[in-house]
Amino acid sequence: MAVSSEQLAINKPDPWQDLRGKIVMVTGASSGIGWEFCIALAKSGCRIIAIARRMNRLKSLCDEINNLDRQENEGEARNPRVLAVAVELDVNADGSTIKASVRKAWEAFGHIDVLINNAGIRGIQLMMSLNSCFCFSPIVLGVIV
Ligand SMILES: NC(=O)c1ccc[n+]([C@@H]2O[C@H](COP(=O)([O-])OP(=O)(O)OC[C@H]3O[C@@H](n4cnc5c(N)ncnc54)[C@H](OP(=O)(O)O)[C@@H]3O)[C@@H](O)[C@H]2O)c1
């Protein structure tokens, strides 16, 4: 039975639903929500640039992602064998340090499509560490913005 163009249009995902091949940089990827974002996005076909300070945890995350079924992503990225890379960065570092890490992140897959600026502090820790300087640090602004 022939399928009408209307039926084809209904079955086709909207562009924003198709994440295959997108390069997503996630800060705060070494635990919690950031870790889960990375796994979920990788399963949806994204390449992940995982950012945080604890490189041992980022490497575990990247190993887990790189061991996922790679078939779905093949043919879309520069290096089909690598789905996730870890980049060490303290988001409170000085501008030139951040710039160097972002450059490294950019060069991992040749570009970045999406930033998930998740790095931050959980509620109670945040309330206890707030002072007038800390309020305007990137880590708090990252939570608010
Ligand atoms: N959990 C909740 O119920 C909840 C609710 C509302 C909002 N949020 C927000 O969601 C975000 C994630 O929360 P979570 O519960 O997943 O927290 P989490 O498990 O404590 O994870 C925080 C992440 O941020 C990273 N991080 C902290 N300081 C950093 C820094 N200076 N530079 C780079 N990375 C840094 C940590 O990595 P390293 O220590 O390895 O650097 C870690 O990967 C936070 O921004 C939090 O405020 C959480």
Distances from the Cα of 28 to the Cαs of 72, 80, 138, in angstroms? 26, 25, 13
- The region, left, alpha or beta by phi > 0 then psi within -120 to 50, assigned to residue 75 is left
Average pLDDT value over all residues in the chain: 81
Does residue 22 carry a pLDDT above 70? Answer: yes
Q: Quick one: average pLDDT of 8-24?
A: 80
Residue 104 belongs to what H/E stretch?
Answer: helix 95-109
**Is any ligand 1 atom within 6 A of the Cβ of residue 122?**
yes
Q: Is the CB of 25 under 6 A from ligand 1?
A: no
- Rounded CA-CA distance 52/35 in Å is 10
How far is 121 from 92, CA to CA, in rounded Å? Answer: 12
Q: For 72, which DSSP code? A: G
Domain boundaries, the chain: 19-144
The DSSP letter of residue 53 is: S
- Tens digit of each residue's pLDDT (9 = 90 or more) over 61-115: 999 999 986 555 555 555 557 999 999 999 999 999 999 999 999 999 999 999 9
What CATH number labels 19-144?
Answer: 3.40.50.720
Task: Determine what percent of the chain is predicted with pLDDT higher than 90.
Answer: 60
Q: What is the DSSP letter of 73?
A: G
> Within 32-88, where are the H helices?
32-43, 55-66
Distance 31 CA to ligand 1 centre (A): 7
Q: Does 19 score more than 70 pLDDT? A: yes
State residue 130's pLDDT score.
Answer: 52
